Amino acid sequence: MIANTAAYHFVDIDAPQTLCDQLQARAEAGGLRGTVLVAAEGLNLFLAGEPAQVQAFYDALHGDPRFAGMRVKTSLSEHQPFARLKAKVKDEIISFRRADGQPLDYPRAPAVDPATVQRWLRQGHDDAGKPVVMLDTRNLQEVAHGTFKDALVLPIEKFTDLPQALAPHRQALQDSTVVSFCTGGIRCEKAALWMRNDGMDNVLQLDGGILGYFEAVGGEGYEGRCFVFDERVALDAELKPLVDQPLPEPNPSAF
């Protein structure tokens, strides 16, 4: 079996290229494939490989005090979903380009855990009796594979489109509890922070995103699958891939 992981952590990185090189070497030594993204604001990882090698990689990473609290979401597949390993230094580990949505500059936006969201969706309101609106911060390609029932879906192709796309809905949302969500939490963490800084103090973020929700409570209230950016295409509520087959043999000239 192959262990597939997704993890991110916002923390000050004073030498992004050095860390990127170190993590690339460690991943290569363990035969891992996927993506390593490093920026001054933190780390974003999508890695897959033999379970023991994956565990060793994250054990070493958690030994670094900067990443001791980093959460790793794991699912299994029969086959490796990544063709190769890529490691890059970027301006942001998830591009948003909003000064008022940068997690290192402000306290984290309030989060709500999956079990609470499940209960709210069952009862049709939050604990104060306010309607709950699930706000999808992903793009339309992702949403096409599935989303929460009756979620507010925005017509966006990339994350940086979100502020403009949200504008027409803000007045209608003001009397609701808004729960922003994405695949694993990284986008809704920035989105919720920006929205609260922009005056929407009724916004929360779904802790752990859709994958965290699936892990904790299953798929209740969610319709369809969760799109992932690799050869598995999408995962169901049991974290099983839509596609699970061998990749074509890589062409060395492509590297």
Share the mean pLDDT of the chain: 96
Range of the domain at 71: 2-93
Please say if the pLDDT value at position 90 is more than 50.
Answer: yes
Q: For position 254, what pLDDT does the model report?
A: 46
Strands across the sheet with 72-77, in order? Answer: 72-77, 2-10, 42-49, 33-39, 85-89
In a domain, 57, yes or no: yes
Please say if the pLDDT value at position 253 is more than 70.
Answer: no
The amino acid present at 79, given as its one-letter code, is H
Are 208 and 147 within one domain?
A: yes
Contacts of residue 185, defined as CB under 8 A and 6 or more positions apart, other chains included, come to: 8, 205, 206, 207, 208, 209, 212
**Could you report the per-residue pLDDT of 53-72, keeping only the tens digit for each?**
999 999 999 999 999 999 99
Are 134 and 168 within one domain?
A: yes
How much is the pTM? Answer: 0.94
In a domain, 250, yes or no: no
Residue 89 belongs to a domain with what CATH number? 3.30.70.100
Are 31 and 127 within one domain?
A: no
Query: Which of 36, 65, 93 delimits the end of a domain?
Result: 93
Are 225 and 106 within one domain?
A: yes
Which of 21, 45, 42 is CA-nearest to residue 230? Answer: 45
In a domain, 208, yes or no: yes
- As a whole number of Å, the CA-based R_g of the chain is 18
Are 111 and 153 within one domain?
A: yes
Contacts of residue 119, defined as CB under 8 A and 6 or more positions apart, other chains included, come to: none
56 vs 70: CA distance, rounded Å: 15
Please say if the pLDDT value at position 46 is more than 70.
Answer: yes
Please say if the pLDDT value at position 132 is more than 70.
Answer: yes
In a domain, 144, yes or no: yes
In a domain, 252, yes or no: no
Residue 104 belongs to a domain with what CATH number? 3.40.250.10
Are 128 and 177 within one domain?
A: yes
In a domain, 25, yes or no: yes
Are 107 and 231 within one domain?
A: yes
Are 103 and 83 within one domain?
A: no
Query: Which of 93, 126, 141 delimits the end of a domain?
Result: 93
Are 81 and 128 within one domain?
A: no
Are 114 and 208 within one domain?
A: yes
**Could you report the per-residue pLDDT of 189-216, keeping only the tens digit for each?**
999 999 999 999 999 999 999 999 999 9
Are 14 and 67 within one domain?
A: yes
Residue 179, φ and ψ in degrees, nearest 5:
-110, 105
Number of domains in the chain: 2
DSSP string covering 186-209: HHHHHHHHHHHHTT-TTEEEETTH
Query: Which of 69, 93, 117 delimits the end of a domain?
Result: 93
In a domain, 244, yes or no: no
Question: Which residues are identified as catalytic?
Answer: 182
83-87 average pLDDT score: 98
In a domain, 112, yes or no: yes
Are 38 and 107 within one domain?
A: no
Please say if the pLDDT value at position 107 is more than 50.
Answer: yes
Q: For position 251, what pLDDT does the model report?
A: 58
